[in-house]
Amino acid sequence: MYHIRSFRVRNLQPFLFRTQNFPRTFFSLLRKYSTNSDATTVDNIMEDTKKQEAPDGKHDVKHGHHHEKRAGTHDHNAKPQAGANLKKDAKKEGKQEDKQEDKGSKGTVVLAYSGGLDTSIVLVWFIEQGYDVICFKANVGETENIEECREKALKLGAKKIFIEDLRQSFVEDFIWPTVQANSVYEDRYLLGTAIARPCIARRQIEIAIQEDAQFVSHGCTGKGNDQIRFELSFHSLAAHIKTLAPWRMPEFYKRFPGRQHLLAYAKENSIPVSVTPKAPWSMDANLMHISFESGILENPATHAPDNLWEMTVSPQQAPDKVESIEIEFKKGVPVKVTNKTDGTVKDTPLDLYLYLNKVGGRNAIGRIDIVENRFIGMKSRGCYETPAGAIIREAHLDIEALTIDREVRKIRDMLSVQFTNQIYNGLWWSPESELTRKCISHTQDYVDGTVEIDLYKGNITIKGRKSDKSLYDEELVSMDVEGTFDPKNSAGFIAVNALRLQENSRHGRLEGAITKK
């Protein structure tokens, strides 16, 4: 009996039964390879069969089949022959790559597009470099003219543009978790820019997958936090999609070292430029806040000019009368706002948030001017307006004091520090942030109730609070009613807690302890 080494006969069946002289071919191959000490491969079989069945070098064809190896039928040690027909597998593994070769394109990139000068330059530059560009504009509360942005992108050569209203999702899925956590970075910054990035990135990746794009891109600088926030989100949400960051690409930033170079390129390529003089600072706006930085603000001693602020008036310009509102919470998030002064009621997430921006803004609520530590390692100065965020945070802190257990609150506060840093550092889409959000959400199960607030010239004053889930017992705490607590129990409580302190004092370990001489 013939013994064939290193391959199974069934691997040859699809090939051998297509030859016209199967018996002769099969037995001649058996005879040759049964005595061969080398490992037999399908390549050996094919090469010899080609010579025997088609000496002129042409493939013998029957029923339209070629005598070529088909992907998936060869031994794992076999090396593909030149000219092997791999088109079918290429289509499976890289359908888009075939399209790119046909078009001569470097691929498709989904660009986060603002409609401003910088991203318009990036759009035209990408096309110049050979990319197909799909623009994506997220509406998370910006004030720009959406239709102008659409027309501009298409006129400049974008294949298409997606303009997505993400405002409701932004409030419910991203802002509300920061409210439950009382998130505040370095004691003052309410994360208005940072929390918008994972919201935008998620939709951008969804579009990239939908459009079979190989790349995503943004217009962030190489010194800021936002490049990190966007790109860590991209990596988490779709690791197979690559990121193009023009402001980190030497061929881009060396070509455009200053604003004048951008303007010259815009003129050369008929890119519309706003006739309004550019403010000497940069601005980023969404429905949670507006941030201002750069330009004249880079000197931390420079006062922010009065015309910088857009969402809020100054305390001097605010009304000379108090405006009273009531905010109702359910599971730690606002569900209803009632203006006690004029009777206005808002009871949907987006509406009540926008309304609190309006009310807070006219009462000079939510302005800060700070220096913060960027994740990338440098300090930066920023001015922020966050009227609704400031009001909601004060109210939430107050209703929590009434409803949340002391030890649960301590743990939540520790988690809040971690969560805040995760948001600021671009790690919303990470396993640790997912865990932190779930834990914090659980602490809010009983945070229901209503808080009454007065707003006046930049001040937020809590006037009262009530809740059906309150842990506050008026009778228990009263100095006029004995209630169920026995005051004698306090003596034992003090004695137990004092034991540790007494031992430290006795051993002289407490600085300032008075010892007998």
pLDDT band with cut points at 50, 70 and 90 for residue 47? low
DSSP percent split of the chain into helix, strand, coil, nearest 5: 45, 15, 40
Written as six digits, the tokens of 492 are 């034992």
Predicted pLDDT of residue 168: 97
| DSSP reduced 3-state for 312 | coil
Residues 501 and 499: their CA atoms lie apart, in Å, by: 5
- Whether 418 is in a domain gets the answer no
242 Cβ contact partners less than 8 Å away, ≥ 6 residues apart: 214, 215, 216
Measure Cα distances from 138 to 141, 150, 169, 441 in Å: 9, 12, 11, 27
Predicted pLDDT of residue 56: 43
Q: Are the C-beta atoms of residues 305 and 150 closer than 8 Å to each other? A: no
Q: Which residues are catalytic?
A: 118, 197, 226, 282
Q: Are the C-beta atoms of residues 266 and 333 closer than 8 Å to each other? A: no
pTM for the full model?
0.78
- Whether 3 is in a domain gets the answer no
Q: Are residues 273 and 313 in the same domain?
A: no
Q: Are residues 271 and 215 in the same domain?
A: yes
Q: Are residues 119 and 77 in the same domain?
A: no
- Whether 197 is in a domain gets the answer yes
Predicted pLDDT of residue 486: 86
pLDDT band with cut points at 50, 70 and 90 for residue 259? confident
Angle at 483 between CA 481 and CA 488, to 5 degrees: 100
Predicted pLDDT of residue 142: 81
pLDDT band with cut points at 50, 70 and 90 for residue 239? very high
pLDDT band with cut points at 50, 70 and 90 for residue 174? very high
The mean pLDDT value of the chain amounts to 84
For the chain, percent of residues with pLDDT exceeding 90: 68
Q: Which helix (H) or strand (E) holds 13?
A: helix 13-16
- Whether 134 is in a domain gets the answer yes
Measure Cα distances from 187 to 416, 462, 480 in Å: 12, 20, 39
- Whether 340 is in a domain gets the answer yes
- Whether 24 is in a domain gets the answer yes
Neighbours of 209 (CB within 10 A): 14
Q: Are the C-beta atoms of residues 167 and 137 closer than 8 Å to each other? A: no
DSSP string, 103-121: HT---EEEEE--SSHHHHH
| Single residue among 218, 252, 278 that ends a domain in this structure | 278
- Residue 13, pLDDT above cutoff 90: no
Q: Are residues 112 and 257 in the same domain?
A: yes
Residues 278 and 298: their CA atoms lie apart, in Å, by: 16
Q: Are residues 68 and 180 in the same domain?
A: no
Predicted pLDDT of residue 48: 53
Total count of domains within the chain? 4
pLDDT band with cut points at 50, 70 and 90 for residue 103? low
| DSSP reduced 3-state for 249 | coil
pLDDT per position as a tens digit, 133-153:
999 999 999 877 788 899 999
Give the start-end residues of each E strand in 127-281.
132-139, 160-165, 215-217, 242-244
> How buried is 280 (Cβ within 10 angstroms: 0-12 exposed, 13-18 middle, 19+ buried)?
exposed
Number of H helices and number of E strands within the chain? 18, 14
pLDDT per position as a tens digit, 190-231:
999 999 999 999 999 999 999 999 999 999 988 899 999 999
Residues 508 and 495: their CA atoms lie apart, in Å, by: 20
Q: Are the C-beta atoms of residues 390 and 190 closer than 8 Å to each other? A: yes
Q: Are residues 124 and 235 in the same domain?
A: yes
- Residue 62, pLDDT above cutoff 50: no
Q: List the end-to-end C-alpha distance of the chain, in Å, as a whole number.
A: 107
Q: Are residues 377 and 489 in the same domain?
A: no
The CATH number of whichever domain residue 158 belongs to comes to 3.40.50.620
Lowest mean pLDDT segment, chosen from 27-36, 96-105, 253-262, 274-283: 27-36
In this prediction, residues 470-483 reach a mean pLDDT of: 85
Q: Are residues 312 and 366 in the same domain?
A: yes
Predicted pLDDT of residue 506: 87
- Whether 59 is in a domain gets the answer yes
| Single residue among 278, 305, 334 that ends a domain in this structure | 278
428 Cβ contact partners less than 8 Å away, ≥ 6 residues apart: 174, 195, 197, 198, 233, 422
pLDDT band with cut points at 50, 70 and 90 for residue 481? confident
How would you list the strands of the sheet with 345-346, edge to edge? Answer: 345-346, 333-339, 323-330, 449-456, 459-466
Measure Cα distances from 169 to 390, 412, 424, 475, 507 in Å: 20, 24, 19, 43, 59
The CATH number of whichever domain residue 365 belongs to comes to 3.90.1260.10
| DSSP reduced 3-state for 54 | coil
Residues 17 and 87: their CA atoms lie apart, in Å, by: 23
Q: Are residues 265 and 141 in the same domain?
A: yes
Supply the angle between the helices 406-424 and 431-443 in degrees, to the nearest 10: 150
**Which residue, among 432, 126, 389, has the nearest Cα to 265 in the 3D structure?**
126
Q: Are the C-beta atoms of residues 297 and 382 closer than 8 Å to each other? A: yes
| DSSP reduced 3-state for 380 | strand
- Residue 453, pLDDT above cutoff 60: yes
Q: Are residues 332 and 256 in the same domain?
A: no
In this prediction, residues 292-312 reach a mean pLDDT of: 95
Q: Are residues 134 and 263 in the same domain?
A: yes
In this prediction, residues 344-362 reach a mean pLDDT of: 98
| Single residue among 36, 54, 85 that ends a domain in this structure | 85
- Whether 94 is in a domain gets the answer no
- Residue 18, pLDDT above cutoff 80: no
Q: Are residues 201 and 75 in the same domain?
A: no
Domain assignment of residue 305, given as a range: 293-404+444-466
